Structure 1
Amino acid sequence: MNIVIVGAGAMGSRVGSALYKNDYHVQLIDDWEEHVEAIQQNGLMVINEKGKEQVYIPAHLPKDCAGEVDLLIILTKSTKTESMMKSCLHLISERTQVLTLQNGLGNIEVLTKYVSKEQLFVGVTTYSAKLSGPGMVEAFGSGKTEIMDVTGQQKEEAERIIQIFNHSAIHAIISENVIKSIWNKVAFNSVMNPLCTLTKSSAGVIGTYCHFYEIIDPILDEIIKVAEVEGIELNKKYITETIIAALNPSMSGSHLSSMYQDIQRGQPTEIEYLNGALLKKGELNQIPMPYNRLLYLLIKMLERGNGQPVLLDKNTVNMSTN
């Protein structure tokens, strides 16, 4: 099976290297030239609980990757879903299976512009990773990955994907509740990513603040109201418990959020696909979301200042979703 990981960032590098080390034919593709060149020249340095390991996995820019692909795993940032899919069209046939494990809302809608629903598999993962430099990924902690086929008619194919992940020591299960799990993760990320980014802290650090739960409570309330209107029933206690578990350093409490890492590198964050997407749904359904709006605007301010606050222009201040 010819497998291509679209997006060789933190999670793409972690998943790709895990599959490659277990004898699957895997290639990484990314548009970050420095990162691709580092992997091509020196291999991918994977740092985890076992130490350091150089993994000589093939890596390419999208235009340099050739051949028909059996399984395309999308792990690029949501901000790049459209552009990366356009650059990968030459790899996709009617037989290609496409699995998205991305964060945020809206990726499924983008992907179905390029592949049929029969080809599409959707997943969500609680594994985390950190790209510490070109050609270097930190892959600590454990997690779980849930996968489902979009139509409900490709269960055998979904099972084969599950087997690939489990054989590569990435715990994965078939789930009929992936969409709800995606919303749970969106709720989690919409709370934790902006807060960790704004405070320049890990989850474990902000969790020690005595007013932490007082801060996250109204943010979650707004998200749950929007989810309910969208037909998704979220459990506030469950999400809160997930947040509490994430404060533990052995899980990911010492991990710096991907949003904070993006800000540090001067790159766009996924805020539009988290709080921004929620704000759009809230606006459509006339649900006030002042707490999520505040987080959204503050992150947009950091984005525009490459990590340093800048004054937003009048148009941005007046808009709740763009």
Structure 2
Amino acid sequence: MKIAIAGFGALGARVGVMLQQAGHEVTGIDGWAAHIAAITNDGLTVRQDDGTSKKFFIPVMTAKEIDGQFDLIILLTKTPQLDTMLIDIKHIITKNTKLLVLSNGLGNIEVMERHVNRNQILAGVTLWTSELVKPGEIRTTGSGSIKLQSIGNVDATAVVDALNQAELNVTLSQNVIEAIWHKAGINSVLNPLTVLLDANIAEFGTAGNGMDLSLNILEEIKKIGDLEGINVNINEIMKDIVSLVRPENAGNHYPSMYQDIKAGKRTEIDFLNGYFSKLGSEHGIELPFNSLVTRLIHAKEDIERTKLAKKQETFEI
């Protein structure tokens, strides 16, 4: 299968490598010039759990440079950039192209429906993780899985088979919206709290009140889920969180929000805790924990961006 991965960062690169190893023709799309140059010139370095490193050569280019037709486009760009990415790659989207969005956060499907026919859309959630070490290099930790569903009237069998050839552990879901809320619940706990506690997932798991904080956030999400007609199973989300903190799973991983903060980037907080907080306001109820977490992450963004700017000024001097 000919596959493009839009958003060839840490996770996109890991998925791309797995698909290429399974025999698929993979092309990456990204906007980070240094990352593209490193992969183009020296290959993609993948540091694995056992301490070994391997190099892979996958073509990566900007959205303006890419050309041709693809059977599948996997969207792993950050949710705030999804609309722009779809505009930039419209020239490679045909009526036969399937698009699978695996980006974290809520609201992705609504964005996609503004650009492509509903019958082309697949939506999913993934528990695969990866960390960007530097341009052209990623670190992989643990295993993962993907749940996906056809949003319109499209047969997803070929896509599921292709991804499972790459051992991505894909299953079809009959209620992907619930699965997306489930993943958003996990991310609304682990992503911001690892940032605020300056910890990886395993270290967060050692925090004495970490699970209490998790429940505070999730109880508010369940409250708004009930109002939206979405079943939020707190026990199942907590079970996944407890599993993820183990080192053999994702415990040694620093979530993407942590990585973004350290890189001085804006995060997806407005599409996680901030999204839930906004829904609460629309329903006339307050979600104090989610609202506070959102404000703290925005404050952390400002602090880290200021630090990086000062370092750059010092370097230039």
Classify the TM-score, shorter chain.
over 0.9
The worse-fitting range, judged by mean Cα deviation, of 47-56 and 109-118 is 47-56
**Residue 248 of structure 2 corresponds to which residue in structure 1?**
250
Distance 1:237 1:291 in 2: 19
**Residue 294 of structure 1 corresponds to which residue in structure 2?**
292
TM-score (structure 1 length as normaliser) = 0.92
Number of matched residues? 306
What amino acid does structure 2 have at the position aligned with 1:72?
A: I
What amino acid does structure 2 have at the position aligned with 1:33?
A: A
**Residue 301 of structure 2 corresponds to which residue in structure 1?**
303
1:165 Cα offset (Å): 1.0
Q: Which of 227, 231, 234 does residue 233 from structure 1 map onto? A: 231
1:307 Cα offset (Å): 5.5
TM-score (structure 2 length as normaliser) = 0.94
Distance 2:245 2:141 in 1: 15
**Residue 311 of structure 2 corresponds to which residue in structure 1?**
none
1:204 Cα offset (Å): 1.2
**Residue 277 of structure 1 corresponds to which residue in structure 2?**
275
Secondary structure of 2:251's aligned partner: coil
1:195 Cα offset (Å): 0.6
**Residue 130 of structure 2 corresponds to which residue in structure 1?**
129
**Residue 2 of structure 1 corresponds to which residue in structure 2?**
2
CA contact (8 A) 2:5 2:27 kept: yes
Unpaired stretches in structure 2, ≥5 consecutive residues: 308-317
Pairwise mapping of residues 249-268 of structure 1 onto structure 2 (< 5 A)?
A: 249-268=247-266
CA contact (8 A) 2:39 2:60 kept: yes
1:308 Cα offset (Å): 6.5
Which consecutive aligned stretches of 4+ in structure 1 deviate over 3 angstroms post-superposition? none
Distance 1:176 1:144 in 2: 16
* 1:219-244 deviation digits (Å, cap 9, x = unpaired): 11101111111111111111111111
**Residue 154 of structure 1 corresponds to which residue in structure 2?**
154
1:154 Cα offset (Å): 1.8
Distance 1:102 1:225 in 2: 24
Secondary structure of 1:181's aligned partner: helix
* 1:277-313 deviation digits (Å, cap 9, x = unpaired): 111111111121011111000000111222679xxxx
* 1:66-104 deviation digits (Å, cap 9, x = unpaired): 112221110111121011111101111111111101100
Unpaired stretches in structure 1, ≥5 consecutive residues: 310-322
Secondary structure of 2:249's aligned partner: coil
Aligned CA-pair RMSD: 1.3
1:35 aligns with 2:35: yes
1:101 aligns with 2:102: yes
Pairwise mapping of residues 29-178 of structure 1 onto structure 2 (< 5 A)?
A: 29-49=29-49, 51-151=52-152, 153-155=153-155, 158-178=156-176
